[in-house]
A and B are shown apart, each in its own frame.
Chain A
Amino acid sequence: MFSNNSDTLVNAIAVQSRIVYALIMREIITRYGRHNIGFAWLFAEPMLFTVGVTALWSIVHTGDTSHTINIIAFAVTSYSTVLIWRNTIGRCTLAVEPNLSLLFHRNVRVLDLFIARIILEIVGITLSVITLMTVFVGTGMIPPPADILTMVGGWLLLAWYSAAMGLLVGGLCEYSEIIERFWHPIAYFQLPVSGAFAMASWLPPKIREIVLWFPAANCAEIFRAGYFGSSIKSYYSVGYVAVVCTLLTWAGLAAVKFISSKVEH
Chain B
Amino acid sequence: MNLFQAVRYFFREAAVNLARGWKVSLLAVFTIAVSLFLGGVFLLASRNLSGSVARWQREARVAVYLTPQTTGAELAALAKLAAAEPWVRAVHPVTPGQAQVRFRQVFPSLADLVSSGSEEPLPASLELELREEARDGRDLSAALDAWRHRPGVTLVDDDREWLAQVQAIVAVLRGVGLMLGLVLLGAAVFTIASVIRLTAFLHGEEISILRLVGATEFFIRGPFYAEGLLQGLLGGLIAGGALFGVWWGVHERAAGALVPSLLAAEFLGAEQMAWLVLLGALAGLAGAVASLRGETLRSAG
Q: Do A and B come from one complex?
A: no
Residues of B with Cβ closer than 8 Å to A? none
